[in-house]
Structure formats: C-alpha cells, structure tokens
Amino acid sequence: MVTAILIPIICFYFFWLTKKEMKEHDIKWLETELVRHEAVLTGEIRSVTEEKQRFYYHRYIFVQELKIQTDTKLIKAKKITPMRKSTNVEAFNVGDMIRIYGCWENNHFHFNEYEIVS
C-alpha cells in the first residue's frame, strides 16, 4: 500500500524538479545574447571563426569569433546567438572595418551590436 502512494509522489517530484531546471536553463540560454554596452571597439576584421555549440540538451548557440586588428593590437571578439527557428546569422567578411559595442569578459570582447564602418 505504501508503495502505491510513495512511487507516484517520487515520480511527480522528479518531474517537477526537471521542469524547474529546464526553465532556468532556457532563461540562461536566452540571456546569452544580452550584452552590456560598456565599451566600443573599432578595427579591421582579420579572421572569422563560426561554430554551433550545444548549450543544454536541445538548446544550441551559434558562436562567431572575430579577430580584430585595432590601432594597437589584435583582439578576439565573440558574438553569441541562441539558435532559434527564426535566427538569422550575420555574415562577417575579412577585411571589413567594423565598430562593435559590448564588454570585456576574461580575455575576449563579448558583443552583440555592430556596424560596418566605411
């Protein structure tokens, strides 16, 4: 009798815990594209690396890493976009002058807004 009551309660508890965890990870996944605009960087794109990475189970992010030559040095900049059905990925061309807005995280510049400079 105890088993008939206890097993459904345990199953429901783990179901609730899993749903709660998935909701938290979905919020973190959507927040990957939100970047504080603390700094501005202007330079020429030297190389572009793009890859799709798994964020959490069925959630993916698209990471674009640019190496930008400024007046003084070569800087790595990353643009992280959560992959949705309606996601449009921007194409960056080597040799373009670009101005990016974002913030520093560890040893790379994280950005989400940019403009091509003539």
The whole-number pLDDT of residue 113 equals 92
Tell me the pLDDT tens digit for each residue of 45-104.
Answer: 999 999 999 998 889 999 999 999 999 999 999 999 999 998 888 899 999 999 999 999
The whole-number pLDDT of residue 5 equals 87
User: 3-state SS of the chain?
Assistant: CHHHHHHHHHHHHHHHHHHHHHHHHHHHHHHHHCCCCCEEEEEEEEEEEEEEEEEECCEEEEEEEEEEECCCCEEEEEEEEECCCCCCCCCCCCCCEEEEEEEEECCEEEEEEEEEEC
The whole-number pLDDT of residue 29 equals 93
The whole-number pLDDT of residue 116 equals 92
The whole-number pLDDT of residue 114 equals 93
Residue 2 reports pLDDT greater than 90: no
The whole-number pLDDT of residue 26 equals 93
Q: Which domains, ranges and CATH numbers included, belong to the chain?
A: 31-117 (2.40.50)
Q: What is the pTM of this model?
A: 0.83
